[in-house]
Chain A
């Protein structure tokens, strides 16, 4: 068969959010992909520049529904560091508990979506049914199932009373059992094994060279986890294991995420049982002194980076959000070459893509003559020239 263009996206049953893969396929084998990730761009970074810190937090929470706590925590941690504000221990523990619950619900969601991508809708329904337990627990803690509104600059807005802790312990036991069951299931169910094993293999060198982060990198043996390498919140108080695998294929990433879920159950349990007393927040100044902060956070999908530049006002001068999905896209594009078309949804789902987090703007040329792409070095040169010209750096 000659080369055909298969339009996967922007609308396609495989995709939960709009993204465009122009797949050039030879029969059923993928020759190359052209990636367009601009569809969910909403200008949030710019919008954050016109809002003071109190108003910016709800805005950033809505960058993504699944990792909303990740964005707010990364942001307020950065601002707190600029203001040199020390958050009370109770707040740090509550942030940790909610963060790990978010990781739990995100990984359960991912397991269901990965099963759906291979047509195994039964596992999808089961994992999402059990995910409801996490959602209900988050609702009991924060008042909302999604976009919990837990963070503010200086601490947290909600407390976790004793009865909620008791409920959490029951829920966590249930979740621990279910996660173990899913671990057994994916290791036994034949179609999952054949569709995930050996697919989308990423060697450790490739993982490092392409800049992958999170479970995608850890499945290739790269033991990089911001919670261990640059601890924040309560992570240096609570012991946990960084889960890695070596095979680097989709199956390895599945095992990593299931392992992380088991660890998260333990972390939530520890952080709620050891919840220190004390205030929930400290009053923070209205204005943040001049500073440039790189705030890092281990979101469910990997390392989330907020670059924040403050300038002695109550607003940020520049906010740049580098989400883990953005770092992982290149691995998808390069690892899919030569694979059959049937592997596309599986490999894409394996990085756990979150387009709302990722979207970068695409510039439409008025003469509309096709697309180009820059190499890494061209992009760096372009950046240097740009900042030299505009900011005199």
Chain B
């Protein structure tokens, strides 16, 4: 792809502009669905956008004694990390920037926001932020192992370390979720924990810690962090869709090329929205668990399931591409 094309891909579609727009739409669907589950009306379509604009216009308070520059830098870094990760997620077809190993890069970039959230809490000089940030890190250690394990399953099955390659391989071998259902379930639970949504919203537990590491974020800073988390929801869904549901591919061959890309895009939208519906349902259906309970659940059930799944993949060859 020529440089101008890559810039357009990265900045416009399906890059940054599309990503932000789609993330705001995701927030709308999430909130609307949760509201309807609760017998409420829910926000109108443009509410997340309106909230973003409103937050940008609010007073931005720097708490006394905190390192304002560092906090701002952290926020920009978190946003950049998640947005960059999206470059490697296949949206129309294979990503033009794909390379062997981009799966590892995406997983690494996806871990950054959690660590940065901890730093935010620590730097905010607020006891709630400190406790919340510590919880975020502790939670990271617990779910990261099983999550990474099962995300590697489709990679082993497809014999590829490129996200786009894994998605492409499933055209021939069928969706990985059929061969690795346990992995898919663990991936969804791990994604919910990564995004710190109920039942894993311990770092932000509002009835326990006010807002955890988010407590001292206001105005533009809060807008930036919320947007980052919205982006993470899209990236995470796109990641799981690519790894387990075949990404932007439809089970039959489509001609001509532009129609294939459109069909792939529609498939991407449908699959990510489907994952969002599942995540939103989980969020509405459960309360918040405690750290020691997460510890028990994570290390026994989740990690156990993850190891089992990987074991099956290695022994049986994963049922796809191997």
Using CB atoms and an 8 Å cutoff, list the residues of chain A in contact with chain B.
4-7, 12-14, 28, 115-123, 125-126, 129, 189-192, 194-195, 340-345
Contacts and interface: CB of A to CB of B under 8 A. Distances in A.
Interface centre among B34, B127, B130, B290 (most CB of A within 10 A): B290
Contact of A342 (B127, B198, B199, B208): B208
Nearest to A117: B207
Contacts of B38: 121-122, 125-126
Nearest to A196: B287
B290 A13 contact: no
B131 A122 contact: no
A102 to B, nearest CB: 24
Given A125-B38, A125-B40, A195 B290 contact: yes
Given A119-B199, A191-B286, A345-B207, A340 B292 contact: yes
B296 to A, nearest CB: 9
The DSSP consensus for interface residues of chain B is helix
B291 interface: yes
Interface in B279-304: 284-293
Given A13-B210, A342-B205, A344-B208, A118 B288 contact: yes
A119 B287 contact: yes
B108 interface: no
B150 to A, nearest CB: 21
A342 B205 CA distance: 9
Q: Is the interface of A mostly helix, strand, loop or mixed?
A: helix
B127 A5 contact: yes
B287 A126 contact: no
Given A116-B207, A117-B207, A6 B291 contact: no
B127 A4 contact: yes
A342 B286 contact: no
Interface of B: 34, 37-40, 127-128, 130-131, 198-199, 201-202, 205-210, 284-293
B287 A342 contact: no
Given A6-B131, A191-B287, 8 more contacts: A5-B127, A7-B127, A120-B288, A189-B285, A191-B286, A191-B288, A340-B290, A345-B207
B37 A122 contact: yes
Contact of B131 (A118, A125, A341, A343): A341
A13 B127 contact: no
Given A5-B127, A118-B288, A194 B206 contact: no
Nearest to B135: A28
B207 A194 contact: no
Contact of B207 (A4, A6, A7, A13): A13
B127 A28 contact: no
A122 B33 CA distance: 12
A372 to B, nearest CB: 25
A126 B39 contact: yes
Contacts of B207: 13-14, 116-119, 345
5 contacts: A13-B210, A120-B288, A122-B34, A189-B287, A190-B286
Contact of A119 (B39, B205, B292): B205
Nearest to B204: A119
Contact of A14 (B208, B289, B292): B208
A332 to B, nearest CB: 15
Contacts of A118: 207, 287-288
